[in-house]
Structure 1
Amino acid sequence: MPMDALCLSAVLRETEGAVVGGRIDKIHQPSRDEILLHIRGQGGPCRLLLSANPSRARIQLTALPRENPAQPPMFCMLLRKYLAGGKILALRQPPMERLAELVIEGTNEMGDKVPRRLILEAMGRRTNLILLDGEDRIVDCLRRAGGDLTQARPLLPGMFYQYPEAQAGKLDPRTLTQEAFQALADSAGDTPADRFLLDHFLGLSPLLARELAFEAFGETDAPVGRDPAGLYARLARLLTQVEEGKTTPTLLVREGSPVDVSFRPILQYGPTTESRSCQTFGALLDQFYQEKETAERVRQKGQDFLKTLNHARERLVRKMALQEKELADTAHRERDRMYGDLITANLYRMTKGERVLQAENYYDPEGGTIDIPLDPRKSPQQNAAQYYKKYTKAKTAEAMLTLQLEKGVKEKEYLDSVLDAVSRAEGDRDLEEIRQELVETGYLRRRAKAKDRMKRPATKPLEFRSSAGLRISVGRNNLQNDRLTTKLAGKYDYWLHTQKIHGAHVILWAEGQRPDDQSLHEAACLAAWFSQGREGKKVPVDYTPVKYVKKPAGARPGMVVYTTYQTAYVDPDPTLAERLKA
């Protein structure tokens, strides 16, 4: 659900104790819409994320590492100038509003202490992050609004900041008496209870309004007039629980995938949706948004070469379809050779100008006759030569097309493997290595600017520890797969890969001994999870000592052949990677 005012209040209560009184050590902007504050708090260091993404606006404590761009954006530099080293004095929320304010004590050019405010407006498409000076003037915004100063609320540097106007006609439910609530419900008639709550009160999301209606009436679309007193009682109890901090970070899971978050269990969906409690709101939001944000970052930052990859793959598929059609046409070559032989055998009774030769087919076991089309403009010898030429051409075409199709299949497999690596990329460095691979294989041009050609340190493979303590390494892309398998792994370590499914190379470091069955099983599960088969069941994973794995000369990155292997069928486990992470 979007972070409504009540959910925001619950998150801020948890966050306040960790950040208030702390000092801002570092400020990063990992993506266009995110600011990450590294804070030395009273309870130890922590990281505070402020996301101004319209679809994922929030403020939270986060434990997830985020990769920073090589060059910090201008807004990040501005925040460093005004807020770095500052002390957080307060974290507050205007009543029933989706706003969070950080009050920070910084210093000006003269060294004097001055208060500043960093405000997150988590309001859908108008979500913004705004820095104010000590006089409530706007220093700058993540998104400036109001080139036309006649609009209702311009947001430009130098202007005085004003809170957004409250939604017209909506009331603060905390100040409403039961009598006033009853009067509103009487005037609403047969309006569904959830729609009534959304239309009349501030701070409620559609999910929360439906849940209150479900608690009061046993269904989400019941009319408010059925029992307004019961609905009011449940709303008042909810507000009291939030005020007293009696909230539970809850992840809603449907068919194994997270679908929503809340600050309390949600029952309206019945047994189809599970409410899982989390220890903290920070852990809840990390878990819910991690996969979505990773996919979004990859889509944005890898968009240029993803387009190139997809176009190359589409061209290759079209080319292979034409080659397969041409190969099918070569199936008639034996008929052409037979026609040439029969014409040659009947030259003595043929004359130029004939259109059809009716001859005995001595290739037919039953001795029947056959009609052979002729070109009347050519002599009998020339007609025979024409059929022999077609036969020779088709025979050569078959050999060449078969070879080209084999190359095409390998090329398509390689492109699919790169697309799989892109889908598993976790940051700029992963994408940069994939870009470098595509440059080396000729799909992308080398960057012209010197600063764009600067080499970054190569990323390391993903590292895990089996239950028995054995190290497990997982390649992030084809270049890493090659390094792991052909350079780093010893010949008695174990290599694992999904069978006929694109995925990562996995190395189980056996340390010169036969690994235990549990470690092999866990390594196989990781191989299945870091592959295109992660959504399947009973995924086949081949495993063998590295000495049986070879890279053919001239093969594309990540392509190997292997022998003397065994196959395990495992179910990908989304929690195993977290449990075994080194």
Structure 2
Amino acid sequence: MALDGAFLRHIKCELEDNALGSKVDKIYQPNRDELVFFLRSRSGIRKLLLSVRANSARINFTEQIPENPKEPPMLCMLLRKRLVGARLAGIRQPQLERLLCFDFETINELGDEITLTLVAEIMGRYSNVILVDEKGKIVDALKRVDASMSSERLVLPGIPYQLPPPQDKLCLLTTDVREIADRVCAQQAGVSLSKALLSVLQGVSPIVCREVQHRTARGADVRVGEMTPELKERLVFFLGRLAEIVKNADGTPFMAVNPQKKPVDFTFFAPQQYGTAAIVSQKGSFSELLDDFYGERDRIERMHVRSQGILKVLTTASERLSRKINAQQADLERCAKKEELRMCGDLLNANLYRLKENVPYVDLPNFYEEGQPTVRIKLNPALTPSQNAQRYYKEYRKAKTAEEVLAVQIREAKQELAYLDTVFEELSRATGERDLAEIRAELEEQGYIRVQRGAKKQSQTRGAMEFRSTDGFRILVGRNNRENDVLTLKMAKKNDLWFHTKNIPGSHVVLFLEGKKPTQRAIEEAAMLAACFSRGRDSSNVAVDYTEVRHVSKPQGSKPGMVIYVANKTIFAVPDREAAEKLRVTR
């Protein structure tokens, strides 16, 4: 859902309670869609996130700080110059518009006290963050909007800032609820009550409108034309309760999660519309709610943007290998007819005395088959019968050699394709720039990415992730193929247990026994970790193979992370990321 104006009013009050009077300590711009302000006060430092990402635009205090680029963007440097050291004096919201104005008191180059305003507009794909000077003119913005992009409202340095065009809607803060109910009931008769509310009310999202309909009609799907006097009075009552919550900003943060534990919606009251279709839970603050709701989605989006270069390399290499394998398999199918070539040579050799020269073909009895049926053999009229026989033998030997070579080449190409599949899996699990750098270094070593001259050599990998089973066994999980090799072939002892998902890409997992006998609980938890750090992490049940490390070997010349194993057992595990995090050892 989109963050609506009523929810933003609660965010505004939360920010005022915790950040007014704070000074800007640092400013970061992790990417083109996000800004992070470090606000210092007597109570400590709070991190304020301003995101204009189309599917997760928001304003809130955050603990999930994304990695920053080595070189700050131009806008970030401008904001540092103008706002670092400034004091947050006020936060404004025009009615229930989806924007907040942050007023910062600072000193300009001449030593005069001025107020600069940072406007954060939270409007889906039209979201923006705009710096406005003391004269009301735009200094710069995250997204500049020129005449070719919009004919209604320009966002360019040097021009006066204008609020977004107002909509013809009623505001809960200033309009009597009975007037709102009258306008709702004046909508088209066939429109549902929730859609009518959405078209009439300013700053409320679909979940709020659906909830008002749900409570007004006692869970029924009522149309405007079906509104009886009793239903209208119930509508006035619940609109009054909603207006009271919004005016006082005394709502409570609630999030609805589906049975698969995926967040589906959030709002500032406890929604009743979902019934048993979702679990509704209360959060500690509105900022915490937004972090929980958007955090994983934002991480995936950030990594998708940053990994585009590597993804293009992997996709190109995979497509090239797939085309190569298809072509080689077609050649291999043609080689399957090699015995026919040898047979033609034998038949010609056995009948040289009967053959005439300068003929395009000859019909001969096939003594290889019962009844010796006649077979027609094509000839080259320019060659003698003996030379034609030798030509068929030559093509037979060529096809036989090609079959042997193609079988090896296809096997090697499929192994390389399987290796690239493991790198795709690494990329899908990457959580930061360090992970991407290690994947890039691995691809450089394997020759998929050209090493630039003068580029610094990638430092050693960080080492495997460490976990501790419930009953005290140490478990290590490789982050990428290079770490997998180090973990399995160098760190693990022969008697330790090695785990890997069956027939799907994933990390190597080693359960270190240290002379003890493994418990069934430790084996199950190690298998669960192998499932969590694999392509099957979103499945409900994953097959995991495990064996002693002594039975795991690496074929000579094979790619990083590629091993073979024997004497294995199979256990089925359910991926549980929350349980995995509880087992993680933090350093």
Q: State TM-score, norm by structure 1.
A: 0.90
1:20-59 residue CA offsets vs partner (Å, 9 max, x unmatched):
3444332211111111123344544332211122321101
CA distance in structure 1 between the aligned counterparts of 2:360 and 2:438, rounded to whole angstroms: 67
CA distance in structure 2 between the aligned counterparts of 1:394 and 1:65, rounded to whole angstroms: 61
The residue aligned with 2:373 is 369
CA distance in structure 2 between the aligned counterparts of 1:171 and 1:256, rounded to whole angstroms: 36
The residue aligned with 1:98 is 98
CA distance in structure 1 between the aligned counterparts of 2:150 and 2:388, rounded to whole angstroms: 86
The residue aligned with 1:73 is 73
Counterpart AA for 1:127: S
1:80/1:515 CA distance change after superposition, 3 Å: farther
CA distance in structure 2 between the aligned counterparts of 1:150 and 1:215, rounded to whole angstroms: 40
Is residue 475–residue 484 contact of structure 1 (8 Å, CA) maintained in 2? Answer: yes
Which has the higher mean CA deviation after the structures are superposed, 305-314 or 158-167?
A: 158-167
The residue aligned with 1:334 is 339
1:89-131 residue CA offsets vs partner (Å, 9 max, x unmatched):
4444332111123333444446665543322111223211122
1:372/1:245 CA distance change after superposition, 3 Å: same
The SS at the match of 2:336 is: helix
1:405-444 residue CA offsets vs partner (Å, 9 max, x unmatched):
1111111001111111111111222222222222221212
1:252/1:78 CA distance change after superposition, 3 Å: same
1:469-509 residue CA offsets vs partner (Å, 9 max, x unmatched):
44433333223323333344444544322122111222334
CA distance in structure 1 between the aligned counterparts of 2:150 and 2:260, rounded to whole angstroms: 50
CA distance in structure 2 between the aligned counterparts of 1:469 and 1:111, rounded to whole angstroms: 62
Is residue 251–residue 288 contact of structure 1 (8 Å, CA) maintained in 2? Answer: no
Number of residue pairs matched by the alignment: 577
The residue aligned with 1:51 is 51
Matched, 1:237 2:236: no
1:16/1:530 CA distance change after superposition, 3 Å: farther
The residue aligned with 1:223 is 224
Quote the offset at 1:202 in angstroms.
0.7
Matched, 1:497 2:496: no
CA distance in structure 2 between the aligned counterparts of 1:370 and 1:216, rounded to whole angstroms: 90
Q: What 5-or-longer segments of structure 1 have no aligned partner?
A: none
Which has the higher mean CA deviation after the structures are superposed, 378-387 or 416-425?
A: 378-387
Structure 2 residue corresponding to 1:324, chosen from 325, 329, 338: 329
Is residue 220–residue 268 contact of structure 1 (8 Å, CA) maintained in 2? Answer: no
Structure 1 residue corresponding to 2:407, chosen from 396, 402, 423: 402
CA distance in structure 2 between the aligned counterparts of 1:67 and 1:521, rounded to whole angstroms: 34
Matches within 5 A, 1:174-573: 174-190=173-189, 191-217=191-217, 218-220=219-221, 222-223=223-224, 226=227, 227-242=231-246, 243-253=248-258, 255-352=260-357, 353=359, 355-361=361-367, 363-364=368-369, 366-375=370-379, 377=381, 378-448=383-453, 450=454, 453=456, 455=458, 458-459=461-462, 461-573=464-576
Quote the offset at 1:529 in angstroms.
1.5
Which has the higher mean CA deviation after the structures are superposed, 188-197 or 304-313?
A: 188-197
Which has the higher mean CA deviation after the structures are superposed, 292-301 or 146-155?
A: 146-155
Counterpart AA for 2:437: E
CA distance in structure 1 between the aligned counterparts of 2:514 and 2:508, rounded to whole angstroms: 18
CA distance in structure 1 between the aligned counterparts of 2:9 and 2:364, rounded to whole angstroms: 94
The SS at the match of 2:101 is: strand
Which has the higher mean CA deviation after the structures are superposed, 349-358 or 5-14?
A: 349-358
Which has the higher mean CA deviation after the structures are superposed, 331-340 or 369-378?
A: 369-378
Is residue 170–residue 180 contact of structure 2 (8 Å, CA) maintained in 1? Answer: no
Counterpart AA for 2:48: L
The SS at the match of 2:88 is: strand
The residue aligned with 2:579 is 576
Counterpart AA for 1:309: L
CA distance in structure 2 between the aligned counterparts of 1:368 and 1:146, rounded to whole angstroms: 85
CA distance in structure 2 between the aligned counterparts of 1:65 and 1:40, rounded to whole angstroms: 16
Is residue 185–residue 224 contact of structure 1 (8 Å, CA) maintained in 2? Answer: no
Q: What 5-or-longer segments of structure 2 have no aligned partner?
A: none
Quote the offset at 1:320 in angstroms.
0.6
CA distance in structure 1 between the aligned counterparts of 2:338 and 2:236, rounded to whole angstroms: 85
CA distance in structure 2 between the aligned counterparts of 1:48 and 1:186, rounded to whole angstroms: 41
CA distance in structure 1 between the aligned counterparts of 2:354 and 2:97, rounded to whole angstroms: 101
Q: State TM-score, norm by structure 2.
A: 0.89
Matches within 5 A, 1:67-216: 67-109=67-109, 114-146=114-146, 152-167=152-167, 169-190=168-189, 191-216=191-216
CA distance in structure 2 between the aligned counterparts of 1:41 and 1:492, rounded to whole angstroms: 55
Counterpart AA for 1:174: L
Counterpart AA for 1:184: R
Quote the offset at 1:534 in angstroms.
1.6
Counterpart AA for 2:416: E
1:327/1:312 CA distance change after superposition, 3 Å: same
Is residue 22–residue 88 contact of structure 1 (8 Å, CA) maintained in 2? Answer: yes
The SS at the match of 2:476 is: strand
1:150/1:293 CA distance change after superposition, 3 Å: closer
Which has the higher mean CA deviation after the structures are superposed, 189-198 or 102-111?
A: 102-111
Counterpart AA for 1:395: K
The SS at the match of 1:139 is: strand
The SS at the match of 1:241 is: helix
1:491-536 residue CA offsets vs partner (Å, 9 max, x unmatched):
4544322122111222334444344332332222121122111222
Please provide the CA RMSD for this pair: 2.9
CA distance in structure 2 between the aligned counterparts of 1:183 and 1:249, rounded to whole angstroms: 30
The SS at the match of 2:347 is: helix
Identity among equivalent positions (%) equals 40
CA distance in structure 2 between the aligned counterparts of 1:490 and 1:296, rounded to whole angstroms: 39
Quote the offset at 1:220 in angstroms.
4.4
